[in-house]
Amino acid sequence: EMADSSDDDQRQKPHAILIPYPLQGHVIPAVHLAVKLASRGFTVTFLNTHSVHHQISRAHHNDPTDDIFAAVRRQRSLDIRYSTLSDGLPLSFDRSLHHDQFMASLLHVFSAHVEEAVGRIVGSPDSRRVRFLVADTFFVWPSTVARKFGLAYVSFWTEPALVFSLYYHMDLLRINGHFDCQSANCRDDPIDYIPGIKAIEPKDMASYLQDTDTSSVCHQIISSSFKDVKSADFIICNTVEELEPETISALKAVQPFYSIGPIVPEGASKGTVATSLWAESDCTQWLNTRPRGSVLYVSFGSYAHTSRADLAEIAHGLRLSGVSFVWVMRPDIVSSEEADPLPDGYKDSLGGGSIIVTWCSQFEVLAHAAVGGFLTHCGWNSIIESMWNGVPLICFPLLTDQFTNRKLVVHDWKAGINLTERREITREEVAEKVRRLMNGDSGGLFRDNIREVKKKLAGALMPDGSSVRNMDQFVNDLTNKID
């Protein structure tokens, strides 16, 4: 009898289905979000694609039948369930090399798989209480799927509110001639008409908003997903109110928007959920041998590519600077078809002074006392993790939101510098910027500024902090809506 009633209680907890975008920088914050929601008493079913699941299993030498949440579920007795579905392409398909086809499959095929999977979970006898769908803002189907199954739709935005707002006001940009214009007619003066956004230069917009050809699959995804998000019941964002107050309050005036960041691994969940898509090298042992604050960490994230020429200049510049570094060199950094993108003999020339790895546990590396700077492509997760650990940045944006993120870091928070002001990178400039960040007096200034940002992030997660209050509010509003 007792067991039965507690079983019933279990079933009565509101149940969410959470679907991350099947890319590394989206899966990581979604995993931490799942843990956050489950810690608040929700049941969460996390739906990964087969492809992401298999890549994680392979990277961590796990049995492919293992569930990535097994350890955290056991340790913290959270009700997180895990399931997988097809993204519409065979497992062997090279999603990095044929990126447009991958995106096309997500645009045109994935929704059918999602409907089938959500229908299966909603209809299974032990999940009567599925009440809401949490899905990445970049999906084009959430409000349709949510409506079909009578669920509330919570849109999860993994980038800053500033980027969200620019996409959200795409039509305004278009009418004003800042977006979707013929290159000769595109305005290049600052954009000063979006609610909550102080004048911003066109070059600081997401790369997609700077494109003059808007016929690609990515543009179709962005325009459909930002139509869809207008029907979201709630929007939750991995940012902090104190970092972007005006932008956030303007968004809150038009839709329920909650800043709940920084979404970083917390407490016991840290390290217990495997999220990396590539095998991690251990850098800690090597870092332990280096002086405090002496090492530059270099990574361009999970997704963007660099040109071979830029990569070579960066490589030479790093060596010229004389600063030790840990460089994450993803196998497909130039293209998955290139064998070794580095100049001949480069690796051997480093001796033991610096190391190059394929992938690492970035959060651990940034938290290590030996790391004193980060040369980054400005992915939002990287910026959050760096600020959280008080590490100043050299910014080298490549794609998508990274240009806007760079603007926040360099212009608004003064917590870093640009790698270059020009199109072409030279090794001399790379060396000069690295030295300036790591050794110069200005390095100290950035460190002071980043400490201020770090205080805001930590403050937001204190018991009475803004993100904790926003999370409470979200849980309240959501519970009222679905009850």
Q: Does 262 bind ligand UDX (CB under 6 A)?
A: no
How many residues interact with ligand UDX (rule CB under 6 A)? 27
Closer residue to ligand UDX, CB minimum distance, 103 or 121: 103
CB atoms within 10 A of CB 359: 19
* C-alpha 241, offset from chain centre: 18
Residue 119 beta carbon to ligand UDX: minimum distance, rounded to whole angstroms: 29
What value, to the nearest 5°, has the Cα angle with vertex 130 and ends 149 and 85?
Answer: 75
Closer residue to ligand UDX, CB minimum distance, 258 or 380: 380
Closer residue to ligand UDX, CB minimum distance, 24 or 43: 24
* Helices assigned H by DSSP within 289-396: 308-321, 346-349, 362-367, 380-388
Letters for 145-164 (x = contact with ligand UDX by CB under 6 A, - = none) are -------------xx-----
Q: Which of residues 227-246 bind ligand UDX (CB under 6 A)?
A: none
Joined tokens for residue 204: 């600081």
Residue 423 beta carbon to ligand UDX: minimum distance, rounded to whole angstroms: 20
Q: Does 368 bind ligand UDX (CB under 6 A)?
A: no
What value, to the nearest 5°, has the Cα angle with vertex 450 and ends 264 and 306?
Answer: 70
Q: Does 386 bind ligand UDX (CB under 6 A)?
A: no
Coil vs helix vs strand at 23:
coil
Of the candidates 272, 334, 239, 235, the one whose C-alpha atom is nearest the C-alpha of residue 35 is 272
CA distance 117 to 405: 34
Closer residue to ligand UDX, CB minimum distance, 358 or 479: 358
CA distance 242 to 167: 21
Q: Which of residues 299-358 bind ligand UDX (CB under 6 A)?
A: 299, 301-304, 328
Closer residue to ligand UDX, CB minimum distance, 105 or 239: 239
Q: Does 379 bind ligand UDX (CB under 6 A)?
A: yes
Q: DSSP string covering 177-196, please?
A: TSSS--GGG---SPB--STT
Q: Which range of residues in 31-39, 200-208, 345-353, 359-367 is near ligand UDX by CB under 6 A?
A: 359-367
Q: Which of residues 392-421 bind ligand UDX (CB under 6 A)?
A: 400-402
Residue type, position 466, single letter: S
Residues 405 and 383 sit within 8 Å (Cβ to Cβ): yes
- Pick the binder of ligand UDX from 14, 20, 25, 465 (CB under 6 A): 25
Joined tokens for residue 40: 């608040």
What end-to-end distance do the CA atoms of the chain give, in Å? Answer: 26
Q: Does 362 bind ligand UDX (CB under 6 A)?
A: yes
Residue 245 beta carbon to ligand UDX: minimum distance, rounded to whole angstroms: 20
The residue ranges that bind ligand UDX (CB under 6 A) are 23-26, 28, 158-159, 276, 299, 301-304, 328, 359-363, 379-382, 385, 400-402
